[in-house]
Amino acid sequence: MNKSLNEICVNAVNEMVHEGIEKHVQFISPEDNISFGLKEGGKIPKVTIEWVNASEANPAVSSG
């Protein structure tokens, strides 16, 4: 069964809390077993999970 992106993020946050990590930044590369190609000199995906003040939350932006 495929997990939703929200489920993956929640799992990642749970693991961060378990490991005592405050912020995680990951740059995705072809070595990460991605299912798409990256163009040379092009953009690469960056994933950031971090703690912020609740006042920064904007439900209109959330794609859960």
Sketch the domain layout of the chain as residue ranges: 5-56
Check residue 7 and give its pLDDT.
96
* Distance (Å) of CA 22 to CA 17, 48, 52, 61: 8, 11, 10, 22
Check residue 44 and give its pLDDT.
82
Check residue 61 and give its pLDDT.
57
Length of the chain: 64
Q: What is the pTM of this model?
A: 0.69
| C-beta separation of 54 from 28 below 8 A | no
| C-beta separation of 47 from 23 below 8 A | no
Q: Does residue 63 register a pLDDT over 80?
A: no
* pLDDT per residue as tens digits for the range 13-49: 999 999 999 999 999 887 888 888 777 777 888 999 9
